[in-house]
């Protein structure tokens, strides 16, 4: 049994009741049990990055020279140069007695009994993680779940100065968040070139594990392009054996030139601590998210509109394919660029804009980083024959609101509610057969009008004031037209059963 746990440090600020303490103790017991089976622990969170040039022979030589220099002279100079740019982040949050996972979990923990949501017991707690200064004027990159739901964010520099952090933007799909502090002439890290990174290269992880500031650990790159972990929606992780522990959330992974090559994000562990298997979001993903959030307040991703899966040997044989390379199309969204191109279920995409597609993750990476309105060429295999198609990439529906869903929804008429599109995976998880349209409630703020009305995480909203809701975009359009201080009639589906709620706007 695998669970996802936030690995930044948390401490309760308010004494809970005996019942709550017993509940929390039981949760921690379950956590320990899961560690024994091998847990994925969130290190504190993808838009795949821009295309980077292949290293030249001269850059290879310089790279090898730097690695040799470090091997001979150690890491002291690098550590000294990078630690001032890594900060400690403390987030005050409203916490519940029941264990809360991130906004994209499987919703397996919200019902005490079917149809009987247990009311959360609100208290305040402190979450502690790390962040990386990436500009001299105070922009900081960290993990989304370090600041998710935070009422206040405090940033402490290495010199012990403290600042109030403002959340510039968040991208839950990559577990990234951008903060800003009011300061100037700060030490900062430059983004590194991931294309020059190789398995076996030396790296340093810098952060604040267990609240111990400016901790530096050393290791190597164990693997590149790790995906399918279930940590974030978009995954292309750098795997390292540099020690990453709770509190390293959002910290820096740097190369031997002191450049930022990754944001420390997760560890795989049987004990809850580092066991030499850590994961960092590569700079090639984090930097475009940073640039887009700072410039636009949201992350814009390209959209093709297909469901895809890995090919197996048996599938390849059945589809008359020579190997298992490519992305097998399982679904074509109505009205999508894929439909316009003529893609069909059962096609195998093997080439996209001149890039060989080796697996679904490769296609996802290439599509999401394609600028909107770009015309693209796609090569597919259909019935054993190669065909070439073309289409124009559109903006991913999630890009319109979901990249900043926390801020956008909290500022909407239904304050304190976060939602996301319902898809087949979520519908199956929630046990809703045959329902693939609507929005799923991923968070309800304690004490909000929505919570008082009975809205709970996992509810599927299909109508508001008798206007049908098919997507996140429609939800935002309808909600934006609601009248303040009036009651909204909301139709939700809970455990497969329809239920009307009235929520004061």
Query: What average pLDDT does range 407-422 have in this prediction?
Result: 64
> In terms of pLDDT, which residue wins out, 448 or 356?
356
pLDDT confidence of residue 158: 92
Mean local confidence (pLDDT), 21-44: 32
pLDDT on residue 339? 93
Q: What pLDDT, on the 0 to 100 scale, is given for residue 64?
A: 62
Q: Which pLDDT score is estimated for 337? A: 95
Q: Is the pLDDT at 141 greater than 90, yes or no? A: yes
Q: Which helix (H) or strand (E) holds 11?
A: strand 9-12
User: Over the stretch 201-211, which tens digit does the pLDDT of each residue have?
Assistant: 999 999 888 87
- Residue 118: band (very low, low, confident or very high) from pLDDT cuts 50, 70, 90: very low
Q: How do residues 448-457 score in pLDDT, each as one tens digit?
A: 888 888 898 8
Tell me the range of 113-117, 165-169, 213-217 where mean pLDDT is highest: 165-169
pLDDT score for 290: 93
Query: Cα–Cα distance between 380 and 364 in angstroms, integer?
Result: 15
What pLDDT is stored for residue 267 in this prediction? Answer: 79
pLDDT average, residue stretch 16-45: 33
pLDDT confidence bin for 144, thresholds 50/70/90: very high
When pLDDT is cut at 50, 70 and 90, the band that residue 398 belongs to is low
pLDDT at 87: 93
Give the global pTM. Answer: 0.60
Which of the residue ranges 4-8, 201-205, 368-372 would you say has the lowest mean pLDDT? 4-8
Tokens of 367: 């599509």
pLDDT score for 96: 55
β-pair partners for 206: 216, 252
Instruction: Indicate which residues carry an active-site annotation.
Output: 145, 175, 249
> Which positions ≥6 away from 268 have C-beta within 8 Å?
38, 39, 40, 41, 275, 277, 278, 279
Out of 296-310, 333-347, 400-414, 479-493, least confident range: 400-414
Give the pLDDT score at 272.
65
Query: Which of 3, 2, 224, 187 is closest to 86 using CA atoms?
Result: 187
Average pLDDT over residues 468-492: 85
Domains (range + CATH), the chain: 1-53+67-299 (2.40.10.120), 302-395 (2.30.42.10), 398-504 (2.30.42.10)
Give the mean pLDDT of the chain. Answer: 76
Is a pLDDT exceeding 70 seen at residue 399?
Answer: no
Q: What Cα–Cα distance (Å) separates residue 127 from each residue in 9, 100, 288, 405, 436?
A: 5, 13, 26, 21, 35
Rg of the chain over all Cα atoms, to the nearest angstrom? 23
Say if CB 301 and CB 394 are below 8 A apart: no
């Amino acid at each position: 049994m695998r669970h996802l746990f936030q690995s930044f440090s948390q401490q309760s600020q308010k004494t809970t009741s005996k019942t709550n303490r017993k509940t929390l103790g039981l949760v921690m017991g379950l956590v320990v049990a899961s560690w024994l089976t091998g847990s994925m622990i969130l290190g504190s969170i993808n838009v795949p990055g821009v295309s980077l040039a292949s290293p030249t022979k001269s850059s290879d030589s310089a790279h090898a020279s730097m690695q040799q220099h470090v091997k001979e002279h150690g890491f002291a100079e690098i550590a000294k140069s990078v630690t001032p740019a890594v900060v400690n982040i403390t987030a005050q949050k409203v916490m519940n007695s029941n264990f809360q996972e991130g906004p994209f979990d499987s919703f397996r923990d919200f019902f005490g009994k079917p149809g009987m949501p247990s009311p959360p017991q609100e208290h305040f707690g402190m979450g502690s993680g790390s962040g990386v200064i990436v500009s001299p004027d105070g922009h900081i990159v960290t993990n989304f779940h370090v600041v998710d739901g935070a009422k206040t964010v405090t940033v402490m520099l290495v010199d012990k100065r403290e600042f109030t952090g403002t959340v510039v933007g968040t991208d839950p799909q990559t577990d990234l968040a951008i903060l800003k502090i009011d300061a100037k002439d700060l030490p900062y890290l430059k983004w590194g070139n991931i294309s020059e990174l190789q398995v076996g290269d030396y790296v340093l992880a810098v952060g604040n594990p267990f609240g111990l500031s400016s901790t530096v650990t050393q290791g190597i790159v164990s693997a590149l392009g790790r995906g399918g972990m279930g940590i974030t929606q978009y995954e292309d992780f750098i795997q390292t054996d540099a020690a990453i522990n709770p509190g390293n959330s959002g910290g820096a992974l740097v190369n031997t030139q002191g450049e930022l090559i990754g944001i420390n994000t997760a560890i795989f562990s049987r004990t809850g601590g580092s066991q030499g298997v850590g994961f960092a979001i590569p700079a090639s993903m984090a930097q475009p998210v940073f640039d887009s959030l700072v410039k636009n307040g949201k992350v814009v991703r390209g959209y093709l509109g297909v469901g895809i899966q890995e090919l197996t040997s048996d599938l390849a044989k059945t589809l008359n394919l020579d190997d298992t390379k490519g992305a097998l199309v399982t679904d074509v969204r109505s009205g999508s660029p894929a439909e316009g191109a003529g893609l069909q279920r059962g096609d195998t995409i093997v080439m996209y804009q001149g890039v060989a597609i080796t697996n679904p993750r490769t296609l996802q990476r290439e599509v999401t980083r394609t600028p909107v309105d770009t015309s693209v060429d796609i090569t597919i295999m259909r019935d054993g024959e190669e065909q070439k198609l073309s289409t124009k990439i559109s903006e991913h529906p999630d890009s319109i609101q979901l990249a900043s869903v926390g801020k956008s929804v909290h500022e909407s008429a239904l304050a304190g509610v976060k939602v996301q599109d319902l898809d087949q995976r979520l519908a199956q998880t929630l046990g809703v057969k045959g329902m693939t349209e609507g929005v799923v409630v991923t968070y309800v703020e304690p004490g909000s009008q929505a919570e008082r009305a009975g809205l709970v995480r996992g509810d599927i909203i299909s109508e508001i004031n008798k206007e049908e809701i098919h997507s996140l975009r429609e939800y935002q359009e309808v909600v934006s037209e609601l009248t303040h201080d009036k009651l909204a009639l909301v139709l939700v589906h809970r455990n497969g059963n329809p239920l009307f709620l009235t929520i004061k706007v």
